[in-house]
Amino acid sequence: MSLLKEFRDFAVRGNVIDLAVAVIIGGAFGKIISSLVADVIMPPIGLLLGGVNFTDLKWEMKAAEVIDGGSIAAVTLNYGSFLQVTFDFIIVAFVIFMVIKSINKFGSKKQEIPVAEANPSNEELLLTEIRDLLKKK
């Protein structure tokens, strides 16, 4: 089998296409959740905390400088952006958890299939007898 044919078989397999669709939808869903967190949830939280915009929070480690007419940007540690991304992650993880929980709750119910007892073969009967005799000794 040629390498090209193997790749084609792999690429058109159902699981790969399902995964590609999931990644695309997941990316779009992530943007929606990021907007929800940044534009809807965080402003009221910032307001409750005294009008703080989390993405603006930073620690200036070295001030901006002007040397020989050229400016050098300040060195900052942008912990507010980190907090924003962390909140995004927590909310996305919670929403995904709730979706999966709903799917599991309302999804297909597992049906128990009764296991029929098979008739033991002659070898199994013989081995069972040997085992029972060894237990008696």
Domain boundaries of the chain, sorted by first residue: 3-105
Q: What is the structure's pLDDT at 106?
A: 83
Rounded to the nearest 5 degrees, what angle is found at the Cα of 10, between the Cα atoms of 18 and 13? 40
- Residue 93: what pLDDT? 83
Mean pLDDT (10-residue bins), the chain, 137 residues: 81 76 86 82 83 83 84 88 84 81 76 65 87 87
> Do residues 38 and 84 make contact, with C-beta atoms less than 8 angstroms apart?
yes
Q: What is the pLDDT of residue 112?
A: 58
Alpha carbon separation from 64 to 58, 67, 71, 78, 120 (Å, rounded): 14, 10, 7, 15, 84
CATH of domain 3-105: 1.10.1200.120
pLDDT score recorded for residue 111:
58
pTM of the prediction? 0.49
> What are the start-end ranges of the H helices in 1-137?
3-11, 14-35, 42-48, 79-106, 122-136
Whether 58 and 75 have beta carbons less than 8 Å apart is answered as: no
- The rounded distance, in Å, linking the Cα atoms of 103 and 88 is 22
pLDDT on residue 21: 84
What is the structure's pLDDT at 26? 84
pLDDT at 116: 57
Cross-strand bridge partners of residue 67: 70
pLDDT score of 49: 80
Extract the tokens encoding 13: 């397999």
